[in-house]
Structure 1
C-alpha cells in the first residue's frame, strides 16, 4: 500500500506494460494480500475442522516462499511478470493441494465449497497472467473483478459459520443468535447468480437487481446476529461493521444504474470496508486464540487500528461520493489511514507471532 501511494499520489515511476498501474495494484491486493490471508486462515481452520495436521514447518516455509517470490518480483513492475506468474500459480496450486489433502483424508465433503472457491481463484489468477500476455482478451478485467467477488463470497460463506459463534461466545451473556438455513441457501444461490452476472454477463440492471436481493437477504441475516453486547467488544463490532460495509457495497451497486455512481468508488466499499476490515479484525482475534492468549483481552491498540481503518474506508468511499473535487486527496488520506492501521497491528502482534505459544501447545 505504501508503494501504491507513492505511485498513485507521488507519481513514482513503475515499469508496467501489458496492464495498467491500477490493474497491477488490484492484482497485488486481491491475489497477493487477500489470498495470503485466506491461506493462513484455511490452513489453521481446516486443521480444527478435520483434526488432521495441515502444512507446517519446512512445507509451510516452501509454500510461503512460493508466495513471497512473485510479490517481490512484482514490486518492480511487470518486467518479470511471467516468472512471477509461474511462482504465483505454483503457490495457489500448493495451497489448494494443502487444503484438499486433510479434507479428502477424512472425507469431509461439506468443505467442497471452499475448495471450489480456491480452484476458481487459481483459475482467475491464471487468467490475469494470460490476459497480461495478450493471449486472452479481457482476461485481466475478468480476473480482477472475479477475484474480488470470489473473496467477498468466501467472506460471506465463512462469516456465516464463525461470526454467530464468536458473538454467542464473546458478548458475556447467554444468547442464541438467529440463523435460517433457507436464508443461507437463498444467499448462496443469489450470490452465485450475482457473480455470473457481474463477471460474465455485465448487464448493469441485472447486476443491480441481484445486488438488491443480496442487500435485503444479508440485512435480514445481520439483524438476526445483532445483540447490543457486541459494541463492548472491538473484535465483535468490527466484524459486524465489516459485514455492514459489504452490504453497503451491494446497496451502491443496486443504485448505480439510477445514480451512475463511479465504479471504482463502489468496488472499494467491498475491498476497504469489507475485506480490509474483516482481515484486520480476524487476524487480531485468531492471533490471540492460536498463541494461547485470552481472546477477550486484545491489546489496547486494537480499537485504535480498527477505527483508523473504518475512517479510511469512509474517506475512500463515502467522502468521494459526497464531494469528488479533490478525489486524489481523499484517496491519499485513505491510503495513509490503512498503512497506519496495519502498522499498529504489526507492532502490537509481531511479538506474539514470532514467539512460541504461551500455553506451550503446538503451533
Structure 2
C-alpha cells in the first residue's frame, strides 16, 4: 500500500491515519485535507502548476491571511482613532459604526474565508484555484476596496462597489471551476453563501452611495455577519471533533449529539430573521435554543486534555463566545443590556478567535510545519484576543461606568494580538515551505 504524507504531518495507512512522528492513530480528516491522494504527484496536480517563484502567490491562503492580519490592525487602529475623535469620518450617508462593522465582515472576515477556500478547494478537488497572476488580480481587487474603505468618500465608494463585485465574481469563478471539473457537489453550499455575500455587500455599498435607501445598510450587514456565523458553526461541526480526537490521540471519546446540527441551523436562520426584523419574543426564544444547542456541542467535544492544545481550545472558545452572543442578543431588551454586546460576543469573540485559530493552523500545516507542535507564544496570542473579548463583551455588564475605557482596552488587545500574529507568521507566509514542496 502506498503511504501518503499529508500536509498536516499525518500519513494514511489503511483506514486510519497516524502521525508521521509517532504511532498515534485516529480517524481521517475529510474537511481540509484530501486523504489517500498525493496531490504533489498527480498529473496536473498542485505541485506542477507554476514555476517556484513569488512564493506568496503560490497558494491563496498566503496573501489573504497576511493581508487579513495587517488589515485587522489598520482597521481597528483607525476605528479607535475615530472613537477618540482623532480622525473624521467623511460619509454622511451611513453611521461610522456600521462602516466599521462592514469592514470587519466584508473586509477582514471575507479575506480569511477567501484564503481558506482558495486553499481548501485545491485539497478537495486536486485541481487549481488561483495562483500567480490570477491570484494577484483577485488580491488587488480586494485591496482596492480596503484602501478606499480606510478613508471612505462619496467619490470613492462607487469605485469600491465595482471592485468588490468584480472580486466576488472572480472568486466564485476560480472556486467553481475545479469543483465542477471534479464533480464535487458537496461543497456547493459554500458557493451559495459566497453569492449571498456578493448580494449583501452590493446592497450595503449601494445604500451608502445613495443609489438605494440607507435603510438597506443595517439588515445587509446583520445577515452577512450571521452568514459568517453559520459558516463557522458548519465548519466547527465538521472539524472540531476530528481536531480534538487527533490532538488527544483518541484517548477520550468525543461525543456528537445527533440533532444539534439541524437545530442549530434552523435556529440560526430564525434568529437572524428575528434580529433583522426586530421580532423580540422570537429573538429571545431562538437565542436560548441556540445557546443550549451549542452548549451541548461543546459539552460533547470537551475534554481537559485540549487545554494543552491551543489550536484546538481556541475553536472551542470561539463557539462558546458565539453561544454567549446568542443569549446576550436575545435577552438584551429584557435585561437592558446594550444590544451591541451580543453582536461583539459573536464578532470579536467568535469570528475573531475562529479566524485567528484557523489562520494559524492552515499557515502551519500548509507551509510544511507541524500543527501538533505550534510555535511558542501562540497560546498567549489566543489568550490576548480572548481577554479582549471578555473586556468588550462581559465586563461592561458588570462595570457599565467604565464602558468606553473597556472598549479602548479591548481594541488595544485586538491590535496587539494581530501584531503578534504578524510577527509569528509573516515569514512562513512569505517564504517557501520548509519541506520543499510547492504551495
The C-alpha deviation readout for 1:38-95, integer Å capped at 9, x for no partner, is 0001111111122222211111111000000110112112231111111012111211
TM-score when normalising by structure 1: 0.96
SS of 2:401's equivalent in the other structure is coil
Residue pairs, 1:300-319, within 5 angstroms: 300-319=376-395
The C-alpha deviation readout for 1:323-359, integer Å capped at 9, x for no partner, is 2223221111000000000000100111111110011
The reply on whether 1:216 has 2:287 as its aligned counterpart is no
CA-CA distance at 1:181 after TM superposition:
4.2
Question: Corresponding residue for 2:431?
Answer: 355
The reply on whether 1:86 has 2:162 as its aligned counterpart is yes
The reply on whether 1:188 has 2:269 as its aligned counterpart is no
Q: Which moved more, 1:267-276 or 1:108-117?
A: 108-117
1:35 aligned residue (89, 93, 110)? 110
The reply on whether 1:15 has 2:90 as its aligned counterpart is yes
CA-CA distance at 1:226 after TM superposition:
1.0
Between structures 1 and 2, the one with greater helix share: 1
Residue pairs, 1:11-160, within 5 angstroms: 11-79=86-154, 80-137=156-213, 138-160=215-237
CA distance in 1, matches of 2:403, 2:249: 43
Q: Tell me if structure 2 keeps the 8 A contact 1:166–1:236.
A: yes
Q: Note the aligned Cα RMSD (angstroms).
A: 1.4
The C-alpha deviation readout for 1:228-265, integer Å capped at 9, x for no partner, is 11101111111111110001101212322321211112
CA-CA distance at 1:307 after TM superposition:
1.0
CA distance in 2, matches of 1:6, 1:12: 6
Residue pairs, 1:314-333, within 5 angstroms: 314-333=390-409
1:235 aligned residue (311, 324, 336)? 311
2:241 aligned residue (125, 149, 164)? 164
CA distance in 2, matches of 1:123, 1:86: 13
SS of 2:318's equivalent in the other structure is helix
CA-CA distance at 1:173 after TM superposition:
4.3
CA distance 1:254–1:178, shift in 2 (3 Å): same
CA distance in 2, matches of 1:195, 1:136: 22
Q: Which moved more, 1:99-108 or 1:55-64?
A: 99-108
Q: Which moved more, 1:323-332 or 1:310-319?
A: 323-332
The reply on whether 1:275 has 2:351 as its aligned counterpart is yes
CA distance in 1, matches of 2:293, 2:403: 33
Q: Tell me if structure 2 keeps the 8 A contact 1:191–1:214.
A: yes
CA distance in 2, matches of 1:299, 1:94: 35
Q: Tell me if structure 2 keeps the 8 A contact 1:9–1:328.
A: no
Q: Tell me if structure 1 keeps the 8 A contact 2:247–2:372.
A: yes
Question: Corresponding residue for 1:340?
Answer: 416
**Which segments of 5 or more consecutive residues in structure 1 lack a partner in the other structure?**
none
The C-alpha deviation readout for 1:206-234, integer Å capped at 9, x for no partner, is 11111111111111111111111110111
CA distance in 2, matches of 1:205, 1:191: 15
CA-CA distance at 1:275 after TM superposition:
0.5
Between Structure 1 and Structure 2, whose CA radius of gyration is higher?
2
CA distance in 2, matches of 1:179, 1:52: 32
Higher relative contact order (CA 8 A, sep 6+): 2
CA distance in 1, matches of 2:362, 2:85: 36
CA-CA distance at 1:185 after TM superposition:
2.1
